[in-house]
Amino acid sequence: MKYSRHVFLFAVLFVANNLLATDTIPRPKKLVSEPQHAPSEMLIADILQHYHYQKAKIDNDFSADVFDKYLKMLDLQRLYFLKSDINYFEQYRSRLDDELLTGQCAIGYEMYNKYMDRLQERLDFIDKILCDTFDFTKDEYYAYDHENQSWFEDKEDQDRYWIKRLKYEGLSLKIGGKHGKEITEVIQKRYANFRKQLAKAKNEDAFQTYMNAFTSCVDPHTDYFSPRLAAEFKMEMTQSLEGIGATLTTEGDYTKVREVVKGAPADRSKKIFAGDKITAVGQGRDTKDGEMADVVGWRIDDVVSLIRGKKDTWVRLQIISGKAAPGEPQKIIEIQRDKVKLEEQRATGVVKKIKIVKSNTKRKKKLYIDKFWGKEKKVLNIGVIVLPVFYQGTTADVKKLIDGFKKESLDGIVMDLRNNTGGSLQEAIWLSGLFIKQGPVVQVKNAMGDIDVNYDNDESVYWDGEMTVMVNRGSASASEIFAAAMQDYGRAIIVGDQTFGKGTVQNVFDMNKMGIKMEKQLGEVKLTIAKFYRINGSSTQHRGVIPDILFPTTYDTAEFGESSEDFALPYDEIPMAEYAATAQVAAMMAHCKDNHEARMKTSKDYQYLLEDIKYLAQQREEKMLPLGGQTAKAKQKAREDAVKDRLSTIEDEVNEEVKTKDKVKPRVAKKDFILDEGLAIMADLIQINRTAKKKLPNKQPK
């Protein structure tokens, strides 16, 4: 399982490779503890023990967890340390808890400095061997994922692996269009930059990494922010920035997109997504504006500084798609910068007109939806509300959208919460209140074990008609609370992927306000203080929300989601709250599922989705990648041909002409297969409910 580092942890992690003009670059200095680190460390220990949701027990077992985590943070892929280093470090396995409690960090700095030494050795080694072009005629293979392999026995063993690693990087450039010495030059420039980055290492970098080894062993959402990073975090949260609108984090040697801000330039481009890795950054729209800087192994703050820029300017990014199979070529995208404000991530809505037709009686009057055929049609007006985050004013904006929908004889509502990362808990409660009579919406359990039930106290129901809620693996926190409430009350059918599973609450502790006066700032701790529970008593933590109609997903749950995180708080249950569920969707669920499954059997889009999932699963299982140019190219060409065939088929369908009396009208392409199916499910629910109501007697018993 991968190790995913938290956002803003700007530890200096690098890959070793070749360098250029290395004599002019200073060697990294030995890092040492500073006076403010000891009080900071003891404050962190106190906060973890007394204020965290599960009150950390700092003992030898905890020390062992921190020891393993710290090694992962320093050398995730086991590329730099030797087995002899690890054997020597083992004497510290049960002593890190003592360091934390007493404000000492000598062991942490010793391990960090050894890591820096080993990395420097790798850089020196590669500087010597990378002088000729690569030979891609040999039939050999490279184990690209070294995380679960043994530590290198000696430097000779390490050298053999690194020679193949360099060749793999060269092959990636070759497949991407580079040739001969050009490949070597690119790699030389890349690692000249690595050496420069290594020389920038600061004492605070080592302390930051060491402290987060402790905090992340309590839970993955508890972080230590150094003074510099705390200031950066506040700026991100409170100010508008000129850039592309993406939150970045570090994973091993890469800068990774953690989140794309809805409505921001990155989102509007439809070219970069959460999970993508940025490997190079360039200014302007083409090479005339300058070459791209290879940023693999860079400090994340330096990468951010390259990506940010003035409004209306352009930035080029070279990325590895988060959904790409190992070995697939990278792509270069262009994004125009703009101002990024949280307030601009407002809910948007549109009415979709869906034409429906009843199936014949031989199929027991099941309903099938098709936009393009059938003589006896009826149009349903379905309002689609896209909600990127829960911001202040969400509920008021959604009410305005519904008011607009009602002017068009509204039949149903689809709430699209895909990739909604959360936000305001209160807005999630108020929004739930638009669709239910008064009652509980979410339960919150604090570190003392006290349970607070959060209610909607407004008896009015703003929309009492049919509704579906769309979610995916990127839906988290407040969006999970809303979806869970709609599911528990029986108010909506939940459609999509299993959600992220973040069911915890964080608060920031400013250590500068905890009574210790120092010349330098102490930093802050973001701490998990509570846990969310559904009104049925189950937690959204770890498990998330399971949709009623579940789509298969291309996401690897071992790589993305709360369940993929080390030390994630577990799923558990508490007593359910008192609430009255409706029967609005429960009785119709089986019919909607049957119709959905029938559509999927003949859906080419669904088959394409299954093909992608199968392909990615097969690639993830492959632990060895070919280094022979012809073998690698043949493998890549086979994939490209399959994709081209698919696109050609889709294009043929899109260009299918529907003849009218006086002109030829092109058929409209489906741009969002999952949303289209969500609309079809919505139409099913509306029609089935209305058919059922017609069969009821005019007077209902009280």
Nearest CA among 658, 317, 689 for reference residue 468: 689
Q: Which residues lie closer than 8 Å to 173 by C-beta, 6 or more apart?
A: 182, 183, 186, 187
Q: Which residues lie closer than 8 Å to 191 by C-beta, 6 or more apart?
A: 16, 17, 18, 19, 20, 123, 126, 127
pLDDT (tens digit per residue) in 178-194: 787 888 888 888 787 78
Q: Is 477 a catalytic residue?
A: yes
Nearest CA among 34, 121, 28, 31 for reference residue 75: 121
Q: Two tokens at 609?
A: 């989705």
Cα radius of gyration rounded to whole Å, the chain: 28
pLDDT the model gives residue 15 = 33
Is the model's pLDDT at 44 over the cut of 80? yes
According to the per-residue pLDDT averaged within each range, which of 296-310, 347-361, 431-445, 637-651 is highest?
431-445
Residue pair 84/118 in contact (Cβ under 8 Å)? The answer is: no
For residue 683, give Cα distances in angstroms to 215, 325, 494, 595.
Answer: 48, 37, 14, 11
Nearest CA among 603, 384, 657 for reference residue 495: 384
Confidence of residue 655 (pLDDT cuts 50, 70, 90): very low
Q: How many CA atoms lie within 13 A of 436 on its CB side?
A: 29
As a residue count, the chain comes to 702
Percent pLDDT > 90 in the chain is 45
Average pLDDT, the chain: 82
**What distance in Å separates the CA atoms of residue 206 and residue 108, rounded to the nearest whole number?**
8
SS3 654: helix
pLDDT the model gives residue 536 = 97
pLDDT (tens digit per residue) in 544-584: 999 999 998 887 777 788 988 889 999 999 999 999 998 77
pLDDT (tens digit per residue) in 425-455: 999 999 999 999 999 999 999 999 999 999 9
**What distance in Å separates the CA atoms of residue 90 and residue 287, rounded to the nearest whole number?**
50
Active-site residue, from 477, 479, 538, 539: 477
Q: Two tokens at 29?
A: 């200095």
Q: Two tokens at 67?
A: 């020891």
Is the model's pLDDT at 49 over the cut of 90? yes
Q: Print burial letters for 373-404: b (CB count within 10 Å at least 16), e (below 16).
A: eeeeeeebbbbbbbbbbbbeebbebbbebbee
**What distance in Å separates the CA atoms of residue 72 and residue 431, rounded to the nearest whole number?**
41
CATH number of 343-442+457-501+536-602: 3.90.226.10
For residue 35, give Cα distances in angstroms to 38, 210, 321, 511.
Answer: 6, 16, 43, 15
Question: Which stretch of DSSP H or E encloses residue 643?
Answer: helix 629-654
List beta partners, residue 654: none
Which of the pair, 187 or 479, is modelled with greater confidence?
479
Q: What angle do CA 85, 89, 92 make, to 5 degrees?
A: 175
**What distance in Å separates the CA atoms of residue 27 and residue 199, rounded to the nearest whole number?**
6
Q: Two tokens at 255?
A: 């800068």
SS3 477: coil
DSSP calls for 617-638 = HHHHH---EE-SHHHHHHHHHH
Q: Is 97 a catalytic residue?
A: no
SS3 577: coil
| Mean pLDDT, range 226-238, rounded to an integer | 66
Nearest CA among 163, 125, 344, 165 for reference residue 245: 344
Which of the pair, 365 or 414, is modelled with greater confidence?
414
Q: Is 502 a catalytic residue?
A: yes
Residue pair 535/579 in contact (Cβ under 8 Å)? The answer is: yes
Which of the pair, 144 or 91, is modelled with greater confidence?
91
SS3 13: coil
Percent pLDDT > 70 in the chain is 81
Domain boundaries, the chain: 22-218, 241-340, 343-442+457-501+536-602
pLDDT (tens digit per residue) in 370-393: 433 334 447 899 999 999 889 889
Is the model's pLDDT at 83 over the cut of 80? yes
Which of the pair, 527 or 289, is modelled with greater confidence?
527
| Mean pLDDT, range 296-311, rounded to an integer | 80
Is the model's pLDDT at 4 over the cut of 80? no
Pairing of strands 254-260, 246-251: antiparallel
Which of the pair, 260 or 581, is modelled with greater confidence?
581
pTM: 0.80
Q: What angle do CA 192, 139, 637 make, to 5 degrees?
A: 80
Q: Which residues lie closer than 8 Å to 436 by C-beta, 6 or more apart?
A: 456, 461, 485, 489, 491
pLDDT (tens digit per residue) in 622-634: 777 788 756 656 6
**What distance in Å separates the CA atoms of residue 541 and residue 306, rounded to the nearest whole number?**
36
According to the per-residue pLDDT averaged within each range, which of 88-97, 192-201, 347-356, 609-618 is highest?
88-97
| Mean pLDDT, range 458-485, rounded to an integer | 95
Question: Which stretch of DSSP H or E encloses residue 415?
Answer: strand 412-416
Is the model's pLDDT at 613 over the cut of 80? yes
Q: Print burial letters for 436-447: b (CB count within 10 Å at least 16), e (below 16).
A: beebbbbbbbeb
pLDDT the model gives residue 361 = 38
**What distance in Å separates the CA atoms of residue 28 and residue 116, rounded to the nearest whole number?**
8
**What distance in Å separates the CA atoms of residue 215 and residue 44, rounded to the nearest whole number?**
8
Confidence of residue 501 (pLDDT cuts 50, 70, 90): very high
pLDDT the model gives residue 664 = 39
Is the model's pLDDT at 364 over the cut of 70? no
Active-site residue, from 69, 167, 174, 502: 502
Alpha carbon 250 to its chain centroid, in Å, reads 12
Active-site residue, from 219, 267, 338, 488: 488
pLDDT the model gives residue 666 = 39
Superfamily of domain 241-340: PDZ domain (2.30.42.10)
The DSSP 8-state label assigned to residue 663 in this structure reads S
pLDDT the model gives residue 330 = 78
Residue pair 200/305 in contact (Cβ under 8 Å)? The answer is: no
pLDDT the model gives residue 623 = 75
Confidence of residue 687 (pLDDT cuts 50, 70, 90): confident
Q: Print burial letters for 632-663: b (CB count within 10 Å at least 16), e (below 16).
A: beebeeeeeeeeeeeeeeeeeeeeeeeeeeee
Q: How many CA atoms lie within 13 A of 97 on its CB side?
A: 16
Q: Which amino acid is at 205?
A: D
SS3 425: helix
